């Protein structure tokens, strides 16, 4: 009998992470899922709650190592945790930018560094980095989020090259709009300087809310990740979302100049 695969999953308390934890546990995987507040994590068979704050660098290694010791090593690492700050770049304090980078970039990179030695020893493993379609189509007033996701996507590509000849797979999942609570949890910074960006700032926030009405479900993203886990040679980068995002937009980005892409984005977000 095969030993069930063991998964370390960040951001398991809501959205894509919770949907993926539920699906994987149902399929017989053993999942160590993280949240800053373990009370928000699901109660499932084969699910192990892990308290983890990706911004707490000193505690991150200890939390991962304790989970890895309990699991006996991980077969799969899914960097999924998300966080968004919405504000003009001009008013986004350096501390805000750094916090986004810790959660969305430096934290995931540290987990990759911690997971790789055991994966290399076994010569097998899978690293799934959940980035964003914003890597290809940056979202106005979400500069920190865009930058962190783009950095993680670029590092995913680099890591695949570095692991050439090994049995370790690296996949960059780029979701578009997903019907989660991300807009409710988005921290919108409103200071007097923001008035200089009106009505663009307000129009963009309204456009984001409207776009969410056609968003795909987190379960759709979870099912995609499950398929990739079973794929011996998964594609390096996969977009997922509604038909426009996952098919038309990504196809157009390969055909159109960046100038044309920006014009489309200005129209989409009501930027004047």
Active site residues: 145, 149
Distances (CA, A) of 13 to 38, 106, 112, 176, 236: 8, 20, 21, 20, 26
Question: What secondary structure letter does DSSP report for 178?
Answer: B
Question: What secondary structure letter does DSSP report for 96?
Answer: H
Q: What are the b/e assignments for 58-74, b being 16+ CB within 10 Å?
A: eebeebbeebbeebeeb
> 74: part of which helix (H) or strand (E)?
none
What are the φ and ψ backbone dihedral angles of 97, each rounded to 5 degrees?
-65, -45
**Residues 6 or more apart in contact with residue 70 via CB below 8 angstroms:** 32, 48
Contact 174, 136 (CB under 8 A): yes
Contact 8, 67 (CB under 8 A): yes
């Amino acid at each position: 009998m095969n030993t069930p695969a063991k998964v370390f999953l960040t951001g398991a308390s809501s959205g894509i992470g919770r949907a993926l934890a539920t699906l994987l546990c149902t399929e017989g995987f053993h999942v160590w899922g993280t949240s800053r507040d373990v009370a928000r994590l699901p109660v499932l068979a084969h699910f192990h709650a892990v308290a983890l704050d990706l911004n707490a660098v000193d505690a991150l290694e200890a939390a991962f190592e304790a989970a890895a010791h309990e699991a006996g090593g991980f077969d799969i690492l899914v960097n999924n945790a998300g966080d968004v700050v919405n504000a003009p770049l001009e008013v986004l304090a350096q501390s805000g930018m750094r916090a986004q980078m810790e959660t969305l970039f430096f934290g995931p990179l540290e987990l990759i560094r911690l997971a790789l030695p055991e994966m290399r020893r076994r010569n097998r493993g899978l690293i799934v980095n959940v980035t964003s379609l914003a890597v290809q189509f940056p979202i106005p007033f979400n500069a920190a989020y865009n930058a962190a996701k783009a950095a993680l996507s670029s590092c995913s590509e680099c890591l695949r090259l570095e692991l050439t000849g090994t049995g370790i797979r690296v996949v960059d999942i780029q979701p578009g709009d997903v019907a989660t609570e991300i807009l409710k949890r988005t921290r919108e910074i409103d200071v007097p300087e923001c008035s200089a960006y009106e009505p663009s700032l307000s129009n963009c926030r309204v456009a984001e809310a409207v776009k969410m009405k056609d968003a795909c479900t987190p379960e759709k993203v979870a099912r995609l990740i499950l398929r990739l886990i079973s794929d011996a040679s998964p594609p390096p980068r996969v977009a997922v979302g509604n038909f426009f995002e996952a098919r038309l937009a990504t196809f157009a980005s390969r055909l159109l100049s960046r100038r044309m892409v920006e014009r489309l984005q200005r129209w989409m977000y009501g930027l004047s």
